[in-house]
Amino acid sequence: MHIKPSTTAYLRIHKQCFSQKKVEGIVRAGDFEWNFIWEFNQGQLFVEPPLGRALIKDALERYLVKADYKLESGGDYIFTVRAKF
């Protein structure tokens, strides 16, 4: 059986505002780190810096769509990216 490549991503929520419908935080995976803003009412995800952004953006967006109402400011979360960084 072939084992699929994967990387663990670590997510920290810095700010969450339901009135603005926005979540802000940091995600780390492999040797990369990005800041993100998830505007969940508009379904828009902004990820900076651009270096390596293509590696994380889709997986982060899928995670946030499933978990955005469960996330809390100051919380730490983990999810798996199906790629090796």
CB atoms within 10 A of CB 82: 10
57 in any annotated domain: yes
| 27 lies in some domain | yes
Please tell me the total count of domains within the chain: 1
Is there a domain that residue 1 lies in? no
Mean pLDDT in residue range 2-20: 92
**Domain that includes residue 11, residue range:** 7-81
28 located within any domain: yes
Angle at 45 between CA 40 and CA 60, to 5 degrees: 95
Q: Is residue 59 part of a domain?
A: yes
Give this prediction's pTM.
0.89
pLDDT at 1: 64
Cβ atoms 69, 11 nearer than 8 A: no
Q: Which of 10-14, 18-22, 35-39 has the lowest mean pLDDT?
A: 18-22
For residues 10 and 1, give the distance between their C-alpha atoms in angstroms, rounded to a whole number.
Answer: 28
Residue 2 included in any domain: no
Residue matched to tokens 């809390």: 72
Tell me the average pLDDT of the chain: 92
